[in-house]
Amino acid sequence: MTAKTAEPGRKTATLRGTAYNLRELSIGEYDEAVQKATDTKQNALGEDVETTDRGRLLRFMVLKSSGLTLKELAELPMPVVLKLNQLVNDMHYLDEKSDEEKAEASEGDSTGNG
């Protein structure tokens, strides 16, 4: 079976009169964001320990998903940023159903059993 490239999901959200166009990140883009949000520090035993700043990770994800610049994101009101965070996070961690699962759910809906 040959894997085909799926188009990323897209979502538009209008917040305070401004439309924000968001798209799902590829796994490569997500890995890049994780790398940017991860620091290596020495612990008390002198061992290198990697830690990922999850707030910074989400910020990188929002920037990549929305196409906003860091300056544009920094100037947005906090409630707008929080909503963008939520939308991007929801898109990224979506429980994607297979085509077969979608068909089964659709069949259940048409029979009145689902």
Is 87 inside any structural domain? yes
Is 86 inside any structural domain? yes
Task: Convert 22-60 to b/e letters by CB count within 10 Å (16 or more is b).
Answer: bbbbeeebbeebeebbeeeeeeeeeeeeeeeeeeebbbb
Bridge partners, residue 49, by sequence: 41
Is 44 inside any structural domain? yes
Is 2 inside any structural domain? no
Residue 27, φ and ψ in degrees, nearest 5: -65, -30
Q: Which domain holds residue 55?
A: 25-94
Is 56 inside any structural domain? yes
Number of domains in the chain: 1
Is 83 inside any structural domain? yes
| The predicted structure's pLDDT at residue 105 | 80
Is 90 inside any structural domain? yes
Per-residue pLDDT of the chain (114 residues; tens, 9 = 90+): 455 567 788 999 999 999 999 999 999 999 999 999 999 999 999 999 999 999 999 999 999 999 999 999 999 999 999 999 999 999 888 776 777 877 888 787 655 554
